Amino acid sequence: MKSWDTIIVGAGIIGLSLAIELNKQGLRVLLVEKGEPGREASWAAGGMLVDFPAETLPELRELATASAQMYPEFVHELEDESGLKIDLRSVGTLLFAGDGTGHSPVTPQADALPQPLAELEPALEILNNPEPRFTALYIKERSVDPRHLTHAAIAAARHRGVDFSSGDHVLAVQVADGKAAGVLTNKTQFAAGMVVNCAGAWAGQIGPHSFPTRPVKGQMLCVAMPEKEMVRHVIRTPDVYLIPRSDGRMLIGTTVEEAGFDKQTVPETMLKLRQAAVDLVPKLADARILEAWAGLRPGTPDGLPILGATPTPGYFVATGHFRDGILLAPVTARVMGQMMTGQRPQIDLSKFSANRFAD
């Protein structure tokens, strides 16, 4: 009977990245996924690698910056081991910020526009407004296609010999002699000396510990830009964001909804998102809608992830990344891998401990 050193519950980008990291450390790893690997929050994400203090909770900034810096090498390794190409763009972000009156907040971390806005993004309607409501800021951020990323991570993990069990819904972590001993699923059970809960919005449903994760719905749509490179930068406004892809697609998002585990798209919501995009870039009125979807981000009461050990020896948790799962994947894998193999994590994880929710 095959055995493993570690079982990871959940094969989203967090679980996949951690599986690869632990495999590098010489551990035998099994990923157990209730559905199809990489097809929940990771599949639905926009892929903005937001590393901008004004938009990041103070407690998250060290993690976010470390992870953003790791991204080029992270992507390079996944491409090398999978043989797949990942669309990682470094054009930057144009953030339209302010109080709605054209006055910009104090944001020293943003840069002045490297060129006039009319040269950076000539298709923007805001250029024709003599009294713009918001000020444009330039941020040196990257964006990535999360579907490329998860495809490559799955292929890289398989290439390394990581095992997968798909369609297995983990019901509980099994405990023997006071320590983690494996997992019980709706079909079978698997044994291992360590277990990591990376089940995203579903993490709180797995015993013996109830983590306060919840699903936060986000609806998005994808269109084909009518002209290649019509929009080059990621564009963020208070109403909508636009994420161009190198193949001519563009993502338009998103909502933040407390709707339980409902993943249905709402036509009226899609129309509002599309109209907000057209108001920003009128040429998008001619864009063909390719796809619409909704995903469930794993939220927590304080908006911070849950990372680290649990009260049960050998049982760990890495979930609750909310809107930053794609961004935080490489650093989460690194620090959790360090913790689980007895090393000191390079970043203090105490503020992300599950113990902060204890009575």
Residue span of the structural domain in which 151 resides: 4-85+146-212+301-357
Tell me the pLDDT tens digit for each residue of 287-302.
999 999 999 999 999 9
pLDDT of residue 131: 63
- On whether both 12 and 78 belong to a single domain, the answer is yes
Q: Is the pLDDT of residue 126 over 90?
A: no
44 and 63 in one domain?
yes
| 8 Å CB contact between 333 and 17 | yes
Give the chain's mean pLDDT: 94
3-state secondary structure of 185: strand
- Based on the domain organization, do 285 and 243 belong to the same domain? yes
Q: Starting at the earlier edge strand, list the strands of the sheet with 241-244.
A: 135-139, 93-97, 234-236, 241-244, 249-253, 214-224, 288-299
Mean pLDDT, rounded, for 256-280: 97
Same domain, 204 and 254: no
Residues 167, 314: one domain? yes
Say if CB 95 and CB 110 are below 8 A apart: yes
Least reliable range by pLDDT among 43-57, 94-108, 275-289: 94-108
* Beta-strand relationship, 249-253 and 142-144: unpaired
35 Cα distance to chain centroid: 18
pLDDT in tens, 175-195: 999 999 999 999 999 999 999
Alpha carbons 219 and 349: distance in angstroms, whole number? 31
pLDDT at position 272: 97
Mean pLDDT of 74-91: 98
User: How many domains does the chain fold into?
Assistant: 2
At residue 263, does pLDDT exceed 70?
yes
Instruction: Give the CATH number, domain containing residue 257.
Output: 3.30.9.10
Is residue 130 classed exposed, middle or buried when 0-12, 13-18 and 19+ CB atoms within 10 A define those classes? Answer: exposed
For residue 273, the one-letter residue type is L
The verdict on 231 and 200 lying in the same domain is no
CA dist 341 and 145 (Å) reads 31
116 and 227 in a single domain? The answer is yes
- HSE at residue 194, side-chain half, CA atoms within 13 A, is 21
At residue 135, the pLDDT reads 86
User: If we measure between CA atoms, which residue out of 340, 142, 343 comes closest to residue 246?
Assistant: 142
Please check the confidence at residue 102 and state whether its pLDDT lies above 80.
Answer: no
